[in-house]
Amino acid sequence: MPKGTKPAPPQQANLQEMWGKNKSKVTKVEQEQPADLQEGPSEGSKRKQSPRAPDGVEPDKRPKAKRRRVVESDEEAPEPSTATKPPEPHTITTNGESSPKKKPKRISPTTRNEKSKGKQAMPPAEDDKEDSEMLSASSEEEDEAVASEGEEELGEEEAQQNAAAALQRTSEVDIAGGWKVGQPVPYAALAKVFALIEATTKRLEKTSLLTSFLLLVIRRRGEDDTTSLLQTVYLCINRLSPDYIGVELGIGESLLVKAIGESTGRSIAVVKADLKKEGDLGLVAQNSKNSQKTLFKPKALTVPFVFANLKEIALSTGHSSQNKKVSIITKLLAACQGEEAKYIIRSLEGKLRIGNAERTVLVALAHAIVLEEQERNNKRLNKEKLTARLEQATEIIKSVYSELPSYDLVIPALLEGGVDSLRDQCKLTPGVPLKPMLAKPTKAIGEVLDRFENKRFTCEYKYDGERAQVHKLEDGTVGVFSRNSEDMSKKYPDLMDQLPNCMKDTAKSFVIDAEAVAIDRTNGKLMPFQELSRRKRKDVKVEDIQVRVCLFAFDLLYLNGEPLLHKSFLDRRELLKEHFKIVPGEFDFAKSSDCDTVDEIQTFLEESVKDGCEGLMVKMLESEASFYEPSRRSVNWLKLKKDYLAGVGDSLDLVVVGGYYGKGKRTNVYGAFLLACYDADGEEYQTICKIGTGFSEEALQSHYDTLKPLELTKPRGDIKVGGAKPDIWFEPKVVWEVLTADLSLSPVYTAAQGLVEERGISLRFPRFIRIRDDKGADDATGPEQVNEVHSEFCCASLPFVKQIAEMYERQVLAQSKGGKKKGDGNDEFW
């Protein structure tokens, strides 16, 4: 990896790898497979070997071209004392280590291969394990059997060691003297944990640090206090409320520079000069604050105080709101000590930049709850029972949160009733939008038949519109939410007026999954997404609307007090048609056909394109495989678009981070642009290509007007530049949908750098399609996905780190072998 580049952080695969330092049993070796078949969406990244790896994992010494899948061994023998007797909850012990013992290494489906030559890849998140196996085995069922076998053996060896390690680290994350039970959590303690997490690139170590800190918060909370843990979790993911509430930070740079200057007595020019030097406003604030002399020590900040002030800033509106925000920020900075100023400013910017993904927070929360539960009940479970309990709690919390993504509801229920009652207390609820289920792309009709062989499936039109989740509460309140949980009720007032017309009296409360599509009411013809994007987003009045929409419903997730996620799609579809009615031009059911042959699917696909749709969605009809899976991109839903059949591939959603001044006809506007994908784990943007085609003169002028206010003199600290040298940099705000003919390795760009080899991956012949107003910069395509596109000339906009590397490796496989491969089951959120 080139000097100075920052590798993407590894992923957590399981509990044993996070805490354990002992050996695991060796299980049967699977046959060798090409490297690209081994890598899942959240693994496969290379790592430089540090002098001392806390998790005890050594790099694989096998040749780079071939790898074996085996049960991952941590390769360090445990100390007899620590292996047999964990320390007491509040006792600090010496963490002795034994010399590594070499054993044959085998990677199970719960882990992934490590890169050779001193670089290691950390395992993926738990749910990614199952899904990514579909790429590397001859059948889905075979992989699931092997996965469960590998998990069982790992759990038997390392559960007790995991718990001991978790309890030992509480002293490492605590502040000097700690804080008393019932007192507010000191913000200094949270800042210390952020610093420790930022200092390591190892996902397993990040998770262990966070678990230990959350354990301290739970231990020291007052009776009936659920707020301390709730606010701590929100600050860890840099949010202040559930997504659908819409309380967001993201304060502008100029406002923060002004606040830092006022708080520290420095001029704005000096602060800007420091920013140009450091590239990180958080570091500028920390250095400015630490160089400032004070007459007395300010009152220590607490998590509740910081959280309340951040929320007040986010909610401030009106003419005097800017001055009010500066005043609050100045007050916060005046009380900062140590590294607190750095993380407060980063929180205000909207980016903590510590590489702490939300799924890591959920896993750490589950582990902390189980460990505290064991302490409170004064029980010490044996290895097998503790591992089973930890895995069970993780699965329950992740499952519940995917159905009810609101920490405001989940965390109080978790603390009051425990893990076992969480499913009963927290279920899918109208008014709380869940993250939608997404489909995997496929490039050939034959692959659809291979995937659904001997199983009932249906084909539906894939409408070219905006995903809409419609909720009706018991009191009659109706809301419409986007795929990102944004409340779109004010954006679509006409849709709100239309909805009562399509409901039958039997539908008292419901949640339906649908697509809002622009329609020409005069002839009933569907219009492309570009027409829909012309609508205003705010202050929309029904009488001013020129582009009308029709809602096409395709799934029913909740009906009259009962969640339907675990009913078959066939049953859900029947209930949908039973309780709703068609209103021409306003509401309809997604057009479907239960096809069985290639010719039938081909005919239906051509019909969908003729009717103005993007292609087809192919869905399982019966069995558990047809259940609705929130937050997940599943192989049980496949999307078949006309572009795939042409070999062009699905589009990528990329962020505009730089611009090149135009020449000739393009003088006075930007002639080309630098694009980047988003690495969610590393919290950074990785450059991927320069684009200058697909633009009309009008489009270039429009892009110039949009991007001009976002200009920066130097790249933001979270942009991984590489060798790209644009004339101007932009604040990463604007997302474009881009098509590409191919992918290639590049020494200039940094996308997926280190995941395939030391060079990054770039797009060949990229072409601009449209602006994605419905997506934020953090929703852009992840590095892993490009690797996947490179193999099958298709991709799916997943927000995880190694997707670009995956696309590339699969492209290489397809080009070298010319073989056909079944789609995988990558997990969208997890």
pLDDT of residue 688 exceeding 90: yes
* Bridge partners of residue 587, in order along the sequence: 551, 583
Q: Which residues does the annotation mark as catalytic?
A: 462
Residues in contact with 523: Cβ distance below 8 Å, sequence separation at least 6, in sequence order: none
Higher pLDDT pick, 66 / 697? 697
> To which residue do tokens 């034994």 refer?
98
**What's the pTM?**
0.67
pLDDT of residue 621 exceeding 80: yes
Locate 365 and state its tokens. Answer: 């929360």
Quick one: CATH architecture of 652-817?
A: Beta Barrel (2.40)
pLDDT of residue 127 exceeding 90: no
pLDDT of residue 331 exceeding 70: yes
Higher pLDDT pick, 245 / 801? 245
Integer-rounded Cα radius of gyration of the chain: 26
Band of residue 822 on the pLDDT scale cut at 50, 70, 90: very low
Higher pLDDT pick, 155 / 279? 279
Taking residues 110-134, report their average pLDDT: 39
User: How much is the pLDDT for 91?
Assistant: 40
Higher pLDDT pick, 58 / 173? 173
Taking residues 676-703, report their average pLDDT: 87
CA separation for the pair 53, 51 (Å, rounded): 7
Which DSSP state fits 48?
B
For the chain, give the percent of residues with pLDDT over 70: 72
**Concatenated DSSP letters of 156-200:** HHHHHHHHHHHHHTHHHHSPTT---TTSPPBHHHHHHHHHHHHT-
Least confident of 30-39, 314-323, 528-537, 761-770: 30-39
**621 touches 568 (CB < 8 A):** yes
User: How much is the pLDDT for 735?
Assistant: 92
Band of residue 785 on the pLDDT scale cut at 50, 70, 90: low
For the chain, give the percent of residues with pLDDT over 90: 39
Taking residues 600-611, report their average pLDDT: 89
Reduce the DSSP state of residue 575 to 3 states and report it: helix
Domain limits, the chain: 15-168, 187-246+356-425, 253-349, 464-589, 652-817
The CATH code for residues 253-349 is: 1.10.3260.10
User: How much is the pLDDT for 401?
Assistant: 94
User: How much is the pLDDT for 279?
Assistant: 81
CA separation for the pair 758, 749 (Å, rounded): 11
Least confident of 382-391, 394-403, 624-633: 382-391
Higher pLDDT pick, 123 / 296? 296
Reduce the DSSP state of residue 34 to 3 states and report it: strand
User: How much is the pLDDT for 38?
Assistant: 41
User: How much is the pLDDT for 682?
Assistant: 78
Q: Could you report the per-residue pLDDT of 398-418, keeping only the tens digit for each?
A: 999 999 999 999 999 999 989
Band of residue 471 on the pLDDT scale cut at 50, 70, 90: very high
User: How much is the pLDDT for 202?
Assistant: 82
User: How much is the pLDDT for 672?
Assistant: 93
Residue 11's identity, in one-letter code, is Q
**400 touches 393 (CB < 8 A):** no
CA separation for the pair 402, 698 (Å, rounded): 42
**726 touches 658 (CB < 8 A):** yes
Band of residue 380 on the pLDDT scale cut at 50, 70, 90: confident
Same fold, 187-246+356-425 and 253-349: yes
Q: Could you report the per-residue pLDDT of 246-283, keeping only the tens digit for each?
A: 888 878 888 999 999 998 888 999 998 888 888 889 99
Contacts by 50-56, CB closer than 8 A, 24 or more apart = 53/202, 54/200, 54/202, 54/204, 54/205, 55/17, 55/18, 55/21, 55/202, 55/204, 55/205, 56/20, 56/21, 56/100
User: How much is the pLDDT for 813?
Assistant: 63
Calculate the alpha carbon distances from 691 to 583, 608, 657, 694, 764 in Å: 43, 31, 12, 9, 10
> To which residue do tokens 């869905």 refer?
619
User: How much is the pLDDT for 20?
Assistant: 44
Instruction: For the chain, give the mean pLDDT.
Output: 77
The CATH number for 187-246+356-425, chosen from 3.20.20.80, 3.40.50.720, 1.20.1250.20, 1.10.3260.10, is 1.10.3260.10
Taking residues 493-518, report their average pLDDT: 93
- Nearest partner of 334 among 289, 288, 291, judged by Cα: 289
- Nearest partner of 206 among 43, 4, 7, 11, judged by Cα: 11
User: How much is the pLDDT for 575?
Assistant: 96
CATH number 3.30.470.30 given to 464-589: yes
- Nearest partner of 111 among 48, 57, 162, 49, judged by Cα: 57
Calculate the alpha carbon distances from 340 to 228, 308, 353, 615 in Å: 18, 16, 14, 51
Q: Could you report the per-residue pLDDT of 433-458, keeping only the tens digit for each?
A: 999 999 988 877 888 888 888 889 99
User: How much is the pLDDT for 641?
Assistant: 79
Which DSSP state fits 221?
P
> Counting beta carbons within 10 angstroms of the beta carbon of residue 17, is it exposed (0 to 12), middle (13 to 18) or buried (19 or more)?
buried
Q: Could you report the per-residue pLDDT of 2-20, keeping only the tens digit for each?
A: 444 444 444 444 444 444 4
**CA dihedral sign, ordered 161, 166, 167, 169:** positive
Q: Could you report the per-residue pLDDT of 81-97, keeping only the tens digit for each?
A: 333 334 444 443 333 33
Band of residue 54 on the pLDDT scale cut at 50, 70, 90: very low
User: How much is the pLDDT for 407?
Assistant: 95
SS (H, E, C) 681-706: CCCEEEEEEEECCCCCHHHHHHHHHH
